[in-house]
Amino acid sequence: MNFSQNFDFAQLVLYAFWIFFFALVVYLRREDKREGYPLQSDHGPVNGWPSPAGEKQFIARSSVEIKEDSHHV
């Protein structure tokens, strides 16, 4: 059985798009949790899925690292 008889380029592009789109949604959900999270609850922290992104680091031209706290309010 030949692989190319059952699979074409359009199908490959479609699967690549779905993988890209899923990764984009996960990335955007992680980034939007930087502001206003963690939610406060009587039962403990509420993070959900995917977990919030870590601290953001900025490196200035003078090689000084500046970190932004991801949970500031």
The tens place of each residue's pLDDT in the chain, 73 residues long, gives 566 677 788 889 999 999 999 999 988 888 877 776 566 667 766 666 666 666 677 677 776 666 665 444 4
Q: With a threshold of 0.75, does the pTM exceed it?
A: no
Burial of 31-57, coded b for 16+ CB within 10 Å and e otherwise, reads eebbeebeeeeeeeeeeeeeebeeeee
**Which bin fits 63, alpha (ψ -120 to 50), beta or left (φ > 0)?**
left
Continuous H helices in the chain: 3-6, 9-32
